[in-house]
Amino acid sequence: MIRLFDRHQFRKQKELSGLWDFSPIDNKEEQPEDYNYQLNVPGCWENHPDFLTYRGLGVYRKNISLSEKTNLRLLFKGVSHTADVYFDGKKVAHHYNAYTPFDCILKDVEKGEHELKVLVDNSFSKESALHTPNDYYTYGGLIRSAAVEEINEAYIKRIEFIPYQENEKWKAKVALVLENLTENSLKINIEALLGDKYNLDFKQAEIAANSQLKIEKDFAFPEAKSWSAENPNLYLLKAKLYLAADESDPKSNVKGELIDDLIDRVGFREIKVDGTRLLLNGKEIRLLGFNRHEDHPMVGAAIPFSLMKKDLDLIEDLESNTVRTSHYPNDELFLDLCDERGIFVWEENHARGLSLEQMLNPNFDQQCADCNREMVQNHINHPAIVVWGILNECASAAEEGREIYKKQFEQIKKMDQSRPLTFATREHFKDICLDLVDIVSLNIYSGWYDWFSDDPAKYYQREKKWIDKNGGADKPIIISEFGAGAIYNFREPSRVKWTEERQQDLLDELLSYYLDQDEIVGTLIWQFADCRVSEDGIPGEPGTAGNAWFHTRPRSKNNKGIVDEYRRPKLAYQTVKRIFKDEK
Ligand code: ADA
């Protein structure tokens, strides 16, 4: 399952889920002789007993048979973390980053049997600026769905839908990006229907040879129902692409020959910052929720639909209304569920706690730019996404760091002006990027990490004063992370650190205090569920600890979940549920 609705009624799409041949290899030049394994897709190779901690290279292979000659579009929703795609032995695509989709077009593929191979790499190296040993785990494999599509001489690459209100009536800017795969320019017609009610009339257009065309127009939807957490109304937007008829041929259908279609799902909602308030459709909202990694011991990062639903059932049971996709773009299936259930999403690009030195890695800029582009272009139509975030806890106290933050915010703003922007800082009392954001977001671990010395209230007030003088005045504030570690079932009357009792006490105190502050529009607990982390880190000088994660991560897990990795509630579960319920 790629989406919770059919994306096509005309275009032929076949999912490539199921068993693929697999072989580990030692280097990229090596051609596997035998494929001694079969691994499931979507899946992580760590699910197999022979690859529990495997960090390296492997080749996935699948045969594809075609009943006729055609153009193909290969679609991969997530390959961790680097993919080199080969079709009949010829390299046809390269992609970096586990958490964003990519595709490639193959023209004029002959009828018959074909071999698709994906060389996957999850090793850590200077080539990989974003996937590093970190406080979450970089798995290996085709962790999200893949599909093959048959397309004609031109197709619809994507739809953009930006809703806005005018005199309390809904309007929207609708754009279609089209691609012509032929050597000749093509005259095309578009037929677009929203919610089986609104015909969106686009004029005939011409796409130059071998190029793309973006057509956009504003439309009014006077009776459209709004999307909100209480009423997550959604509409299907169905677009059809026609090759314009040859006027001289009286018999031909006025629109011409249907050659492609694309369906997306949209909602009418507007998200705005107004001083220190966050408004959805003009009404104040608060983001009450969790940071959530895509991680589960039984499946790694390849979370199946059933577990996505399980997580959202728990998140709703906790009376929360928000998920932050820490620290990378999420599977679109999960975003579809959030759209349907009225769960707000803070979606962010892929980066966690990178130092300036790591941000100056020559691969960093391009790998981030690709991630930002793929995140926004693929997820822009999800009404659930109410905030874009970037570069969690990176070097936002350094001038060079500031340049990078600025550039990335500009890149995202160019693609989407309809959502507020933010990033989660750890550069307390040093940050020089707070003027760049619409919302100030703070990762504060009062009561857990001893460098947050003062009592939580005193600490927050001191930081608030500093923020007001350093670029963050009159902006909404989100406590984007706070929490405490608790080993599941470790209970002690002493309520010492790592006990469930201490986590319960701390979350009770922190959540109650933060929700009493008017300018705080969001409290996102770190974290929803315990998750696997890298064992290693950046090795230290001989005789020193270095910062290998296992030192501070019992069980090689981040244990700050309010449910453990198997989604078993800890004591804090009921406390958080009570406080969120009272807040509503
Ligand atoms: C950071 C970081 C999280 C996690 C958390 C923690 O704020 O953003 O990914 O590492 O700290 O558990 O310390």
- At 172, which helix (H) or strand (E)? strand 169-180
pLDDT (average), residues 354-377:
98
Taking 80 as the threshold, does the pLDDT of residue 255 lie above it?
A: yes
Dist. CA 383–CA 172, nearest whole Å:
13
Share of the chain above pLDDT 90, in %: 92
Which amino acid does the sequence have at 103?
Answer: D
Query: 293, 481, 557: which to mutate for ligand 1, most atoms within 8 A of CB?
Result: 481
Q: What is the pLDDT of residue 472?
A: 98
Q: How many CB atoms lie within 10 A of CB 410?
A: 11
* 104 alpha carbon – ligand 1 mean position (Å): 35
Burial (CB < 10 A; 0-12, 13-18, 19+), residue 471, is middle
Q: For helices 364-379 and 399-415, what crossing angle results, to 10°?
A: 30
Q: What is the pLDDT of residue 384?
A: 98
Taking 90 as the threshold, does the pLDDT of residue 550 lie above it?
A: no
What is the residue with the minimal CA distance to atom 9 of ligand 1?
Answer: 135
pLDDT (average), residues 487-493:
98
Cis peptide before 327 (omega within 30 of 0): yes
Q: Where are the beta strands (DSSP E) in 349-476?
A: 385-389, 421-422, 424-425, 440-443
Query: 394, 550, 558, 562: which to mutate for ligand 1, most atoms within 8 A of CB?
Result: 558
- Residue 177 corresponds to which tokens in the numbers above? 């990006």
Query: 392, 526, 550, 553: which to mutate for ligand 1, most atoms within 8 A of CB?
Result: 526
Q: Is 481 in the pocket of ligand 1 (CB under 6 A)?
A: yes
Taking 60 as the threshold, does the pLDDT of residue 295 lie above it?
A: yes
* 145 alpha carbon – ligand 1 mean position (Å): 28
Pick the atom of ligand 1 nearest to 448's CA.
Answer: 13
Q: What are the pLDDT digits (tens) for 406-443?
A: 999 999 999 999 999 999 999 999 999 999 999 999 99
Q: What are the pLDDT digits (tens) for 510-548?
A: 999 999 999 999 999 999 999 999 987 755 555 555 567
Q: Is 392 in the pocket of ligand 1 (CB under 6 A)?
A: yes
End-to-end CA distance of the chain: 34
DSSP string over 282-322: TEE--EEEEE--S-BTTTBT---HHHHHHHHHHHHHTT--E
Q: What are the pLDDT digits (tens) for 139-193?
A: 999 999 999 999 999 999 999 999 999 999 999 999 999 999 999 999 999 999 9
Q: What are the pLDDT digits (tens) for 85-125?
A: 999 999 999 999 999 999 999 999 999 999 999 999 999 99
Taking 60 as the threshold, does the pLDDT of residue 222 lie above it?
A: yes
- Residue 291 corresponds to which tokens in the numbers above? 């940071």
Q: What is the pLDDT of residue 549?
A: 85
Sign (positive or negative) of CA dihedral 331, 302, 118, 15: negative
* 423 alpha carbon – ligand 1 mean position (Å): 14
Q: What is the pLDDT of residue 252?
A: 58
Pick the atom of ligand 1 nearest to 135's CA.
Answer: 10
Coil, helix or strand for 505? Answer: helix
- Residue 349 corresponds to which tokens in the numbers above? 């690009």
Pick the atom of ligand 1 nearest to 443's CA.
Answer: 7
